[in-house]
Amino acid sequence: MSIRLETIRECFEGIIPGHIATSDTEGIPNLAYLSQVQFVDNSHVALSYQFFNRTRQNILADSPVRLLLTSHLTAAQYRLTLKYLRTETAGPLFEQMRAKLAGIASHTGMAGVFQLLGSDIYRILAIEQVAGPTVAPPPPPLNYLTALRRATNRLAGCANLEGLLETAIACLVDEFGIEQLMLLMHDEGRGRLYTLASHGYPASGIGSEIPVGAGVIGICARERCPIRIGFMTSEYAYGRSVRASIAADGHGDALESAIPLPGLPEAASQMAVPITAAGRLLGVLYVESLADLHFGYDEEDALVAFAALLGLAMLHHQQADDFEDEPAASEEDSPPTGGPPLAVRHFAANDSIFLDDDYLIKGVAGAILWVLLTDFAERRRTSFTNKGLRVDPRIRLPGVSDNLEARLVLLQRRLEERDTGISLSKTGRGRFTLAVNRPLTLLES
């Protein structure tokens, strides 16, 4: 029976270094260690191109290529015969390999030496197992197909976007055993991702942002492909890379009002998976662990499938909330407010909102809150609809794919965290109410 490449992917993690054998035009053999092998599909692999060495010269001269790979789980060895096809120097596969190589380099003390120049793509011509003693593989930590089935059933039972987000986080914790994770939404107009939900951190970080292209999360969003790192690397750590990216964009003054991005300061394993639907990037699912090589190919496959289901469900609920399932309720008199006045300051330049000089939110969510509070102060209005917000010229939504419902969930959760007397509550599909329990002083800057 032939060996399928996907059944030996643990050999590609580099725990036991592989070997590559080539020969020059005169038939003189050359043997070298492999830094990285990347699974592409059952017919192709990619090898990292880092130096123009003897191996590289032989490959470009159309040398036969053999790999020797060893499973760290069973000690089984496999001999692969390859045919070189091409080299990619940009794109999703290149970024996947560059991130993974950065972790390998850091783990082996070769940071600054290992630099990916290209991803060499090869066709698999043959796979054979080398005769020798092996051991039985250990049982997997969980059955990912069963976990995915249970998670799918739970997602299917959600009635709205907020419930879907809560269920998605619970599924990742309960079914997949993931302890630290974030769910971020895509703000296409600003080129940012903002945290909408998280688990396993001292502070939720809801509302924190990261630029597209920064770190594991940002690269995942830009390339719309999963990015996975098995070892700690400073190159993809967030505290440094995010702030550096913001400063480089000329927005260093925005750092004072930024909400810290949650995360493990010494995360060894990181993985980010894009959430897409109908050709659109909706967000990114990010998981991490203190353990080396905590996430492998099986975990990646499971989370990619989970994110695909989540993306379709998110798109459905966002579109459904643009339609009211019942006539809007008649406006009720708002209850009297009491306590000390709450100063709400709005900065029109970036629609940031401060409550009593403490930062709350900015961007579209900030513009929405300012409109709601303005209408409340002027007309005591408390009932609103998604449809009404979408056509309100004061909010300036970026377009049809504006993730309005996700922004409302973000705003609701930030207000709950601050607990300053302002809250939002859903009253039906596409409808919500504003509650204000303190006198307001609205200040425009």
Average pLDDT in the 277-282 region?
93
Q: How far apart are CA 148 and CA 154, in angstroms?
A: 10
Residue 101 banded pLDDT, cuts 50, 70, 90 = confident
Q: How far apart are CA 225 and CA 273, in angstroms?
A: 7
pLDDT higher than 50, residue 255? no
Q: Which domains does the chain have, with CATH numbers?
A: 5-130 (2.30.110.10), 144-320 (3.30.450.40), 342-444 (1.10.10)
**pLDDT given for residue 404 in this prediction:** 87
Contact present, 119 and 97 (Cβ < 8 Å): yes
The mean-pLDDT minimum among 217-221, 258-262, 412-416 falls in: 258-262
Give the whole-number percent of the chain exceeding pLDDT 90.
Answer: 58
Q: How far apart are CA 423 and CA 435, in angstroms?
A: 5
Residue 243 banded pLDDT, cuts 50, 70, 90 = low
Q: What is the pTM of this model?
A: 0.87
**pLDDT given for residue 295 in this prediction:** 92
Mean per-residue pLDDT of the chain:
86
User: What is each CA distance from 348 to 75, 212, 248, 328, 366, in whole angstroms?
Assistant: 63, 24, 23, 30, 10
CA nearest neighbour of 384 among 437, 425, 433 = 433
**pLDDT given for residue 337 in this prediction:** 65
Q: What is the pLDDT of residues 63-100, one digit of tens each?
A: 999 999 999 999 999 999 999 999 999 999 998 888 87
For the chain, the maximum distance between any two Cα atoms, rounded to a whole number of angstroms, is: 92
Q: Which stretches within 361-430 are classed as H helix?
A: 364-379, 386-391, 404-418
Contact present, 200 and 310 (Cβ < 8 Å): no
**pLDDT given for residue 5 in this prediction:** 95
Antiparallel, parallel or unpaired: β 358-361 and 209-211:
unpaired
Per the model's pLDDT, the better-predicted residue between 259 and 377 turns out to be: 377
Q: How far apart are CA 215 and CA 334, in angstroms?
A: 46
Q: What is the pLDDT of residues 182-210, one digit of tens each?
A: 999 999 888 899 999 999 999 899 999 98
Q: Which stretches within 73-185 are classed as H helix?
A: 92-107, 144-156, 161-174
